[in-house]
């Protein structure tokens, strides 16, 4: 009995310690379906390296579950969840993401805003949210800026993977 083609999973992440947004997309052919998305909050952060590591570890524990439930073909990391996030926070999160992806044998692709816009076919005055909705064939269940960003990262990653560009 032939089961047919299996969907490809792409995990998109807008990194950060104060808040990290993720989105899980399933793609089969040209059809995209959102499986899950959420925001992980880091709470109040101290400046110590140990505190940064603890916050990154807490995010890693949750993302371990996300990876286990829906093993991605690729992890796409886009722009920061919050533009004011300090570089050392983003470094801590990227280090943690590399470790989690490595544990699951998942490759990582970093996407710039320009690459995302190009992959989404973003029009001159089109918002990320509108481009995501167009790509999914309907509205997502959230208008939260952080979730929209994570969704856009996952959709862009899915489209680039379909084109063989990742």
Mean pLDDT over 38-65 rounds to 82
In a domain, 41, yes or no: yes
Structure-block tokens of residue 19: 């808040």
CA distance 93 to 116: 20
Residue 112 falls inside a structural domain? yes
Query: If DSSP codes are grouped into helix, strand and coil, which group holds residue 103?
Result: helix
- Three-class DSSP category at 146: helix
Q: Using one digit for the tens of pLDDT, what is the confidence trace for 106-155?
A: 999 999 999 999 999 998 899 999 999 999 988 888 889 999 999 999 99
Q: Is residue 3 in some structural domain?
A: no
d(CA 58, CA 72): 20
Supply the pLDDT for residue 98. Answer: 95
Q: How many CB atoms lie within 10 A of CB 86?
A: 16
CA distance 135 to 33: 9
User: Would residue 18 count as lying in a domain?
Assistant: yes
Task: Record the pTM.
Answer: 0.92
**At 35, which CATH number?**
3.30.420.10
Residue 107: give the domain boundaries: 8-162
User: Mean per-residue pLDDT for 67-79?
Assistant: 95
Considering the domain boundaries, does residue 1 fall inside one? no
pLDDT above 70 for 60: yes
Compute the average pLDDT of residues 79-89. Answer: 90
pLDDT in tens, 4-18: 678 899 999 999 988
Number of domains in the chain: 1
- Asked whether the beta carbons of 143 and 129 are under 8 A apart, the reply is yes
Higher model confidence: residue 138 or residue 49?
Answer: 138
The whole-chain average pLDDT of the chain stands at: 90
The arithmetic mean of pLDDT across residues 21-42, rounded, is 91
Spatial distance between the Cα atoms of 52 and 67, rounded to a whole number of angstroms: 22
pLDDT, residue 81, reads 95
pLDDT recorded at residue 73: 94
Domain membership of residue 32 (yes or no) is yes
For residue 2, being part of any structural domain is answered with no
Mean pLDDT of 39-47: 78
Beta-bridge partners for 13: 22, 77
Q: At what angle do helices 145-162 and 113-120 cross, to 10 degrees?
A: 70
Q: Residues 137, 155: contact at Cβ < 8 Å?
A: no
């Amino acid at each position: 009995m032939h089961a047919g083609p299996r969907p490809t999973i792409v995990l998109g992440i807008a990194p950060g310690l104060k808040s990290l947004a993720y989105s899980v997309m399933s793609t089969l052919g040209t059809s995209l379906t959102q499986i899950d998305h959420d925001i992980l909050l880091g709470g109040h952060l101290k400046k110590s390296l140990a505190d940064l590591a603890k916050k990154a570890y807490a995010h890693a524990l949750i993302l371990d579950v996300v990876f286990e439930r829906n093993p991605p073909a690729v992890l796409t990391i886009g722009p920061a969840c919050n533009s004011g996030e300090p570089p050392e926070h983003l470094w801590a999160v990227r280090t943690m993401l590399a470790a989690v992806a490595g544990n699951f044998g998942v490759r990582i692709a970093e996407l710039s805003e320009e690459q995302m816009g190009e992959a989404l076919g973003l029009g001159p005055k089109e918002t990320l949210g509108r481009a995501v909705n167009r790509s999914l064939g309907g509205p997502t269940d959230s208008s939260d800026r952080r979730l929209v960003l994570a969704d856009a990262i996952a959709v862009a990653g899915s489209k680039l993977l379909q084109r063989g560009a990742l």
